[in-house]
Structure 1
Amino acid sequence: MLTRETARQFSDEWEKSWNSRDIDRIIRHYADDVVLVSAIAGRILGSPEVRGIESVKRYFMKGLQAYPDLKFQVLDVLYGDRSLVLYYINQNGLKAGEFMQLDEDGKVSRMYAHYSE
């Protein structure tokens, strides 16, 4: 079960990994069988659903290439039993939220992205 502190630790490391632009550091947060659902993925890939760690890695790499100055700023983290929501400012300066379901190893197994615009 997550606590406020473990949720914050996850959030801090997630933010730092993205802002480092280190794809291997970023991808460590995700399970091998991860499923990601995002409207942005739909625009880039033609489908909003991305399945499996290698597909997610390729999608993330496209984002890093498309946004060379990509920076995320986490505003808040909400947590549940084995899930959390990261509320942050994205690369376009817009608010975004990601619901993340974690597996028994604390890695993201399901992620649903939500955007303010």
Structure 2
Amino acid sequence: MSNELDATEFSRRWVAAWNARDVAAVLAHFHDDVVFSSPLAAQLFPETGGVVRGKEALRAYWAEGLKRLPDLHFTVEAVYAGVGSVVINYRNHRGQLVNEVLVFDGDLVREGHATYLRQDG
């Protein structure tokens, strides 16, 4: 990811793919050997400890998530561009604030982390 404009455009494609429930379109932005962490992954696939390794495992995780969350919808609140990274701050279908932290290797995401706003103070 080379600049803020790229980050904004990436976030537009990312949220459009998610809101279309198009896992293949979301995965098109990820390396085959991606590592992705998420508290939701830990709930859906406890054996992962919340860390999903590889594009096919990520496909399985996201497909299961979409199956279990028929109301899934994201609204981007802000996009932050870093050096080789992007943070997408969005609100999910439950109104929760979430940050997706994405680290790039070239034009593809090598590492991602879904992080949730703590509500317990």
Shorter-chain TM-score: what band? over 0.9
2:76 paired residue number: 74
Task: Provide the TM-score with structure 2 as the length reference.
Answer: 0.91
Matching residue's letter, 1:108: V
Deviation at 1:116, TM superposition (A): 1.3
Question: For residue 105 of structure 2, what is the aligned residue in structure 1?
Answer: 103
User: What residue number does 1:15 align with?
Assistant: 15
1:116 aligned partner: 117
Instruction: Give RMSD over aligned pairs.
Output: 1.0
CA displacement 1:47-96 (0-9 Å, x = unmatched) = 21000000000000011101112110111110112101010001321000
Aligned residue pair count: 116
- Tell me which stretches of 4 or more aligned residues in structure 1 moved more than 6 Å: none
Residue 34 of structure 2 is matched in structure 1 by 34
Give the Å deviation of 1:103.
Answer: 1.0
Partner amino acid, structure 2, of 1:66: R
In structure 1, stretches of 5+ residues that fail to align are none
SS of 1:31's equivalent in the other structure is: strand
Identity of aligned residues (%): 34
> Structure 2: where are the runs of 5+ without partners?
none
TM-score in terms of structure 1 length: 0.94
- Counterpart in the other structure of 1:2: 2
**1:49 paired residue number:** 51
